Amino acid sequence: MNRNIEFRDVAKSFGSVKALVDFAIRVDEGELVTLLGPSGCGKSTALRVAAGFEVCDSGDVLIGGTSVVALPASKRGIGMVFQNYSLFPHLTVHENLEFGMKVRKMSRSQRTARVGELLDLVRLAGLAERYPHQISGGQQQRVALARALAIEPQVLLLDEPLSALDATVRVEVREEIRRIQRTSGIATVFVTHDQEEALAISDRICVMCDGQVEQIATPHVVYRSPATPFVARFVGKVNDLAVEITASSRVRLRGHAFEFSVPQSQVQSGEARLLIRPEDIRVTSSAGGEGLQGRVDGLQFGGATTSLDVAIAGTNHVVRVSDSTRAMQFGIGDVVSLVFDMERALLTRE
């Protein structure tokens, strides 16, 4: 039996708002796939349709190869973790964990044994008799995860489980989640709007916008080869410059004489935007000569890496460039030269 989940052309509207349009993806056993996008993109809706809390207008959801759209949420074999208020406040951690097992009428000894296993899995042994309001937010979410896994579901669904936590706790808990997911090997769908989170823990990322899938690929591919301008802008940082296309492979920065040559004609002539990541621009101190001239206007020291804001002479374009600190020995006011790696740039109309 394959423990996986598959969405087939799922569509869902709320009134006139199209929350999901032709949503399709398969998450296999052992995989952690993240649904990533801004609020309103449909990621939570997709999760809730999978869980059974929303009914889709058309399409199908299969868990373990069987269609579940006709089944109520209680019979789908899913485990779910919510953003907050997951745990039952009137029950201890132990009682929360055994809730699913109690419903399935497992014996007390079986339940207790399993609770012990689960607490060890999430490394919270010793908190069994505490109440949810007596433990921290991060601990609550780990217990919620353990509780979802208690009944050995086929699929794990996580709806922004880290969004309500403090920044430092967030990193800890997300690594815990990844570790536990790898250990148990369960197919997992993770929903978040935080692209850094998605890049850090996913096997694959499904980037969504306005109910549509923009790209499904590994984090590396999503970052380095964004399929659409939306993905390029949403994931990681990107420079967004106004340009003009003068000839089939020449692009000119608006308000400036400098021209780039583009590998192939991605867009027809006219106005366009050039998207390029800070790390794909090389900075040298040679004034004059090749490259775009500019002056360092701002500097952000980030420990291992440093970013510069470079103002292009004669325009109001400001380009952000980043590299290892060792390579960025510049100060504010320095005149520098920028070389764009156009293989890594994206030209787009919008």
Do strands 318-324 and 335-340 pair parallel, antiparallel, or not at all (unpaired)? unpaired
Whole-number Å distance between alpha carbons of 183 and 179: 6
**Which residues are near another protein by CB under 8 A?**
51-53, 72-75, 78-80, 82-90, 99-100, 102-104, 133, 144, 147-148, 150-151, 157
Measured from the CB atom, the residue of 108 and 224 that comes closer to another protein is 108
d(CA 262, CA 276): 12
Closest separation in Å from C-beta 249 to another protein: 54
Q: Which amino acid is at 321?
A: V
Identify the burial level of 268 via C-beta atoms within 10 angstroms of its C-beta, where 0-12 means exposed, 13-18 middle and 19 or more buried.
Answer: exposed
Least separation, in Å, of the C-beta of 262 and another protein?
Answer: 50
E strand residue ranges, the chain: 5-14, 17-27, 32-36, 58-63, 66-67, 78-81, 155-159, 187-192, 204-209, 212-217, 239-247, 250-253, 259-261, 270-276, 281-284, 292-302, 305-312, 318-324, 335-340, 346-348
Rank residues 87 and 208 by Cβ distance to another protein and give the closer one. 87
Closest CB to another protein among 15 and 89? Answer: 89
Residue number with CB closer to another protein (89 or 288): 89
Beta-carbon contacts of 216 under 8 Å, excluding residues fewer than 6 positions away, are 25, 204, 205, 206, 207
Single-letter code of the amino acid located at 231: V
In the complex, the smallest distance separating the C-beta of residue 74 from another protein, rounded to whole angstroms, is: 5
Q: Shortest approach of another protein to residue 337 CB, angstroms? A: 52
Give per-residue burial for 127-166: e unless 16+ CB within 10 Å, then b.
bbeebbeebebbbbbbbbbbbbbbbebbbbbbbbbbebbe
We find the least distance from the C-beta atom of residue 331 to another protein, in angstroms, to be 41
Closest CB to another protein among residues 90, 326: 90
Q: Which is nearer to another protein, 128 or 157 (CB)?
A: 157
In whole angstroms, the minimum distance from the beta carbon of 180 to another protein comes to 17
Least distance (Å) between residue 333 CB and another protein: 41
| Spatial contact of 143 and 124, defined as CB atoms under 8 Å apart | yes
CB of 99 to another protein, least distance (A): 6
Give the strands of the sheet with 318-324, arranged side by side: 281-284, 335-340, 292-302, 305-312, 318-324
Determine the distance from the C-alpha atom of residue 7 to the mean position of all C-alpha atoms in its chain, rounded to a whole number. 19
* Residue among 308, 304, 303 nearest 331 (CA): 308
Q: Which is nearer to another protein, 10 or 150 (CB)?
A: 150
Identity of the residue, 142 or 147, whose beta carbon is nearer to another protein in the bound complex: 147
Q: What type of residue is 19? A: A
Question: 37 or 52: whose CB is closer to another protein?
Answer: 52
- Are 158 and 164 in contact by the 8 Å Cβ rule? The answer is no
Q: State the nearest-atom distance from the C-beta of 73 to another protein, in Å.
A: 4
